Amino acid sequence: MSLKKKIILGLIVVLIGIQFFQPLRNQSGEVTDMHIEKVYAVPQNVKAILQISCYDCHSNNTRYPWYSRIQPGAWYMAGHIKEGKEELNFSDFGTYSTRKQRNKFRAMSNQIRDGKMPLSSYTLIHRNAVLTQEEKQVLMKWFDAMADSLK
């Protein structure tokens, strides 16, 4: 067997082997009392946008697509979710201090205004998560109002 065939066979074995090592899934299945929707009266239009464009990476309840079980993409996705939740977790929003909540509301508004959220790597595959100008305005208006109310 040639070296090229051995390398290809080795890569195939490795790719098949890593499929047995799946990261933990980010699915608690419940909305706790600390979730932003329990702490604040989130308007239905804002809630709908957050669910589609934000919660997969920024809550304890990710909706996993079919490709999330294929390695090494699943590891990438798990790392991405972990980083997103470390920065902002809507499921734990009520545990944040008032100052941190105010700063998070401002930061969310700024991230949307600057086109940094949702990430292009996310919207590339999740086309329904792309925010329209109207959706951006709805979110920014609500985030700004919430930040102002926490002064």
Of 30-34, 35-39, 113-117, 140-144, give the lowest mean pLDDT range: 30-34
pLDDT in tens, 30-70: 777 899 999 999 999 999 999 999 999 899 988 877 776 77
The pLDDT of residue 23: 65
Percent of the chain scored above 90 by pLDDT?
53
pLDDT in tens, 74-88: 777 788 889 999 999
Is the predicted pLDDT of residue 25 greater than 80, yes or no? no
The pLDDT of residue 149: 94
Is the predicted pLDDT of residue 114 greater than 80, yes or no? yes
The pLDDT of residue 26: 62
Count of domains for the chain: 1
Range of the domain at 34: 3-149
Q: With contact defined as beta carbons under 8 Å apart, do 92 and 34 qualify?
A: yes
CA distances from 94 to 3, 32, 97, 101, 142 (A): 58, 10, 8, 8, 17
Q: Is the pTM above the cut of 0.85? A: no
Buried b (16+ CB within 10 A) or exposed e, 102-114: bebbbbbbebbee
